[in-house]
Amino acid sequence: MFLKKTLVSVVNTLMFLKNTLVSIANTLMFFKKTLVSSKNERVCRPQKINITFLKYNYLYNMPQTTNTPVLDPQKWIDSYADYLYAYAYNRVNDEESAKDLVQETFLSALKARDGFKGEASEKTWLVAILKRKIIDLYRKNAAHPQQSFEESEQYKVAYSHYFTESGFIKGEWDKKAGPKPWNVPDNNGIEQKEFKHILAGCLGKLPKMWASVFSLKYLEEEESESICKELEISSSNYWVIIHRAKLQMRECLEKNWIKA
Amino acid sequence: MSAEEKNIAYFSAGMGWNLCCKQATYLLLKQEEQQKLSFKEEYALKFHMSICKLCKAFKKQSAIMNETIKQSLQQVVLMPESQKDNLKLLINRHLDEK
């Protein structure tokens, strides 16, 4: 009881401190904003006029054809194939599927050629298509029908493996599975290749749904909301999956990569 | 209730000022993604991190993992030449059809 009371009082004081700090910071920010905006206005006005002037100049003097987008499929392979292949390979970790992905992107880019409006450059347009294809691949993996039963089994195993389910304090780190100090290997080229290999192996050990979520999050760097939409899972489910996937990946990497 | 639902219920409800490591790691991952934690969760997490060595280690290692994964994405790989030739043939065929 005594401990709890002291804790609550400490937290209360912390709360008070935070509130005061936040209010002070807010007032400071307000002053700063007013100052900055007044400065900016002075600097920006002449520039604005310049830009509009340039625009008119451009419209009257330039030929109209520069606005229409130009795609050159003959040169795609020479200029973009390596980049796209590396992009796909680094995310999928498999030569064959990386090749297939690049081929598919070129084919669908050829089909969708008329829809290209020139809003982005050719390269970013192709990368966007490739990214779409990779996400589709992950989604296909996640929706594997045979996986559901196995997954539920692994759910049960995993948590009790990492955290104690009974005892004096529930939910503490298990002594065997808890984090140990890491000596991170240096970042040589060889080491990195090895890391990729290990990472792929560890991802393969995860249930497919988790692997898809994990790679979408950390390899594709998608927002959590869009991942939930893509894979049709609720957000709380998503957080649980990320939590467990991270726990499992951490252990797997500790065993294979760190070798302490 | 399935195991999955139980877990979700476990996390969403019943987080007091006293966190166990299981809940703390869960909140840590949420915080890592710039998710807003509630006030109670934030301070409970801070308190837990100040006493728990293992969770501190977990936080560090999680950051290391993120960084190494990010670095490994920038690795340079070249496409095999044979595959390039195949693709060139394919594209040319497509262009001729039109």
> Would you call A94 an interface residue with chain B, using a CB distance cutoff of 8 Å?
no
Residues A161 and A253 reside in one and the same domain:
yes
CA A259 vs. chain centroid, Å, equals 27
> Would you call B43 an interface residue with chain A, using a CB distance cutoff of 8 Å?
yes
Total domain count, chain A: 3
Residue A65, both tokens: 């054809």
Neighbours of A191 (CB within 10 A): 14
Q: Who among B3, B66, B90 is closest to A156 (CB)?
A: B3
Residues A177 and A108 reside in one and the same domain:
no
Domain with A174 in it: what CATH number? 1.10.10.10
Q: What is the full DSSP assignment across A102-144?
A: HHHHHHHHHHTGGG--SSS-HHHHHHHHHHHHHHHHHHHHHT-
CA–CA dist A251, A255 (Å, integer): 6
Domain's final residue, options A138, A156, A191: A138
Residues A62 and A109 reside in one and the same domain:
no
Give how far Cα A3 sits from Cα of A7, A8, A110, A162, Å.
Answer: 6, 9, 69, 28
Residues A58 and A77 reside in one and the same domain:
no
Residues A250 and A152 reside in one and the same domain:
yes
Q: Who among B8, B26, B78 is closest to A82 (CB)?
A: B78
Q: What is chain B's percent helix, strand, coil content, to nearest 5?
A: 75, 0, 25
* Least confident residue range of A14-23, A95-104, B45-54, B55-64: A14-23
Domain with A98 in it: what CATH number? 1.10.1740
Residue B50 confidence (pLDDT) = 92
Residues A84 and A168 reside in one and the same domain:
no
Segment A57-86, tens digit of pLDDT? 455 544 444 445 567 777 788 888 888 888
Which of the four pLDDT bands, split at 50, 70 and 90, describes residue A226? confident
Segment A8-60, tens digit of pLDDT? 788 778 887 887 888 787 777 766 766 655 555 444 444 444 444 445 545 55
Residues A238 and A151 reside in one and the same domain:
yes
Residues A134 and A177 reside in one and the same domain:
no
Domain's final residue, options A86, A104, A138: A138
Residues A101 and A175 reside in one and the same domain:
no
CA–CA dist A143, A140 (Å, integer): 5
Could you give the maximum distance between any two Cα atoms of chain B, in Å?
A: 70
Which of the four pLDDT bands, split at 50, 70 and 90, describes residue A205? confident
CA A186 vs. chain centroid, Å, equals 24
Q: Which structural domain, as residue segments, surrounds residue A84?
A: 73-138
Residues A119 and A214 reside in one and the same domain:
no
CB pairs A-B closer than 8 Å: 140
> Which residue out of B91, B92, B94, B95 would a mutagenesis test of the A interface target, given it has the greatest number of A Cβ atoms within 10 Å?
B91
Q: Are B42 and B28 in contact (CB under 8 A)?
A: no
CA–CA dist B23, B15 (Å, integer): 8
The amino acid occupying position A41 is E
Domain's final residue, options A66, A101, A117: A66
CA–CA dist A205, A188 (Å, integer): 26
Residues A82 and A118 reside in one and the same domain:
yes
